[in-house]
Chain A
Amino acid sequence: MVWYERKLLAKMQVRVGPLYAGRFEGILQPIADFVKLLFKEIIVPRPADRFFFLLAPTFMMALSVSLLALIPLGPTYVIADSNVAILMIIALLSLSPLAIMIAAWASNNKYSLIGGLRALHQMTSYAIPLSLSTLGVVVLSGSFSLVSVVESQRNYWFILLQPLGAVVFFLAGLAELERVPFDVPEAETEVVMGWETEYSGINYGLIMTAAYIKFYALAVLFTVLFLGGWLGPEPVPPLAWTILKTLLVVTLMMIPRGAYPRLRIDQMLRFGWTWLLPLSLLNLVISLVEVPLLR
């Protein structure tokens, strides 16, 4: 997926992108990069708090991986079909600011601190519209379980009933992932790399991987919640449908990176509180109206 993003971005910018690692168009480049990071020395800056500094990347990785366990890829491809899957996902997502705060404070660096504070502001203010927009889907399907959410989309995908919710979820998801144009916490010309500044080698690799897993997880979640998950015409297997739809979402989420500059933190928070939050509440009201109409 890293390879896909780099290639897509390169296409937008009239470049070639990764080319040499692997037989096909540098497809093994992410693996080469990761192996390189693996062999690097683990550097812990002297003023940093060693224990928490090293804990944070692992914590982040754990959070991201446990997200994956809850998200179904197909009717049979599901690790944990929980009755409260959506609630648990929201809980896991709202834990990630904590991991970032640990990383930022343990680094004992001014830029890390500023970046961490920015990330904290951003994630807490965008987690609310994110969870509220999923609530609309819950109201429609009458269940917190992701499998039954997909099953209740047999007749129509929820994106048709909840276009507003889908848009809010998409934007809040972008912010949650710190992706362009919401990559304020790691604005390199202002705060170097934000809360990741002091991380190098495999610790940085873990942070990056965690971020990409989270990215992927949110894209699948979008597919499951709004695009009918694995549902699709018969000859294509359900798993392939999920992957296909997810790729579409991933592409949509990557395009802003090539097309937009970065917002400023105050502009971003204003956007979150004055637009996304009311819109997600409105969406909730719409879904409450829709339920009796559909019955």
Chain B
Amino acid sequence: MSELTLSVGPQHPGSGHFRLIICVDGDTITKATPDPGYVHRGIEKQAEYREYLHSIPLLERPVISDSNGSVYAYVLAVERLAGLKAPERAQYIRVLMAELNRIMSHLYWLAIYGIFLGHSTMFMWPFGDREVVIDLAQRVMGARLTYSFFVPGGVRNDLPHGFKDEALRATEFLEKRLHEYDAIFFKNPIFVERTRGVGILRHDDAIRLGVVGPTLRGSGVNADARKDEAYDVYDTFKFDVPAFPDGDCYSRALVRLEEIKQSIRIVRQALESIPEGPFRIRHPSVLKPPQGSVYSRTEAARGAYAYFIRSEGGKTPYRLKISSPSFRNLLAFQFLMKGSHLADMPTIYWSLDYWPLEADR
């Protein structure tokens, strides 16, 4: 059979706002060329025309499933630029909310991975359970997905009454459910068969390609911005950075499952040790940071999310640059898909947790 060129996406049930041009020879992919850019919205440029505070709702738009994770680094960068420091309680709340968001994002990923492998139960369960975390987040931040909750100098509002009990109940529920996921998904012989040894990204290749986040840790590289460059109060918590050496889709899946467990651990510790005090410091609503540039990096659900901001002393940034994890992981596509089966295309695609909006910005 001669070679066939398939254009997977942007109108394809397994692609998202993104196109993948793949050449198949029989059942083997000979070439895969990613074609991003369908949802480019010029967010970096738009941010140059907005005041620092006004940019927050804009900057979380690329990643609505992990909106706190995506503005965390921005808020830290602006704080450093303007010389603000968030009170300790605010830092705890931020960590709490960022971890809840990580759980949400990973559950979303798990659900979609289920459907990518044709497992409809695995699609429904995490989506239903994610609702528990969303409700919890809604109690604090007032919205389901796009919170605009982190602001330079703290967070927008304090935790509501009785939040601790609710959060503990939710984490217990989630832990119980994670065991059930194990039974139906992670220890499912067909799931293991489909993902083990598929799309192998070796330790050295992962570093050479510069992938980030769970994809990097799935290749056995133990790197996490929360540990390596601990920001806010992350250094006070005990948690492990899961890393699995195999580098296949299965270990990337396990990394995310482990991370949910670690996030639950962090949430519990934060709930126990959160201090009393103000949740925000007062500062002028129009920030005018002095001239200078700043780079800050945090660990969002998909990996290291970094901002570079250049200020010329005005109300708006002179230049704002986002380094998003999905864009970094885009390089791995060509590399991993070449030589794999056509049926492994969705398996590999979603194991990278590629989010087109985040990559295009």
Contact = CB atoms under 8 A, between A and B. Distances in A.
A18 interface: no
A15 to B, nearest CB: 6
Nearest to B113: A261
Given A110-B6, A259-B184, A190 B343 contact: yes
B330 to A, nearest CB: 19
A280 B259 CA distance: 45
A214 to B, nearest CB: 20
A192 B191 CA distance: 21
B14 A190 contact: yes
Interface string A64-78: 000000000000000
A259 B121 contact: yes
A284 B230 CA distance: 67
B125 A189 contact: no
A264 interface: yes
Contact of A261 (B6, B12, B117, B125): B117
A266 B193 CA distance: 11
Interface string A244-269: 00000000000001111111111100
Interface in B149-200: 184-185, 188, 190-191, 193-194
A260 B13 contact: no
Nearest to B129: A14
A187 B343 contact: yes
Interface stretch (A53-61, A91-99, A178-186, A204-212): A178-186
Contacts of A15: 124, 128
A288 B231 CA distance: 74
A200 to B, nearest CB: 15
Contacts of A266: 27, 341, 343
Interface in B1-44: 4, 6, 12-14, 24, 27
Contacts of A183: 118
A291 interface: no
B115 interface: yes
B22 to A, nearest CB: 10
B278 interface: no
A260 B12 CA distance: 23
B342 A190 contact: yes
Contacts of A258: 120-121
Interface in B113-137: 114-122, 124-125, 128
Interface string A161-184: 000000000000000000011011
Contacts of A110: 4, 6
A262 B117 contact: yes
Contacts of A13: 120-121, 124-125
* Interface range for A: 20 to 34
Given A189-B115, A189-B346, A261 B14 contact: no
Interface string B228-249: 0000000000000000000000
A114 interface: yes
Contact of B188 (A111, A191, A260): A260
Interface in A228-285: 257-267
B344 interface: yes
A12 interface: yes
A16 to B, nearest CB: 11
A13 B114 CA distance: 12
Contacts of B24: 114
Contacts of A184: 343
B100 interface: no
Contacts of A187: 118, 343, 346
A18 B190 CA distance: 29
B121 A265 contact: no
A127 B45 CA distance: 60
A126 B43 CA distance: 53
B56 interface: no
A190 B120 contact: no
B352 to A, nearest CB: 14
Contact of A264 (B12, B122, B194): B194
A251 to B, nearest CB: 16
Nearest to B4: A110
Given A180-B118, A184-B343, A190-B346, A265 B27 contact: yes
B118 A261 contact: yes
Nearest to B118: A262
B63 interface: no
B266 interface: no
A191 B128 CA distance: 27
Nearest to A193: B13
Which of A111, A260, A261, A263 gathers most chain B CB within 10 Å?
A261
B119 A9 contact: no
16 contacts: A13-B121, A15-B124, A110-B4, A110-B6, A114-B24, A187-B118, A187-B346, A190-B342, A259-B184, A261-B119, A261-B188, A264-B341, A264-B343, A265-B343, A267-B193, A267-B194
Given A189-B116, A261-B122, 6 more contacts: A12-B121, A14-B124, A14-B125, A114-B4, A257-B120, A265-B343
Counting from the closest, the 8 A-B pairs by CB-CB distance are: A189-B14, A262-B118, A261-B119, A13-B124, A261-B117, A189-B346, A264-B343, A188-B13
Interface of B: 4, 6, 12-14, 24, 27, 114-122, 124-125, 128, 184-185, 188, 190-191, 193-194, 341-346
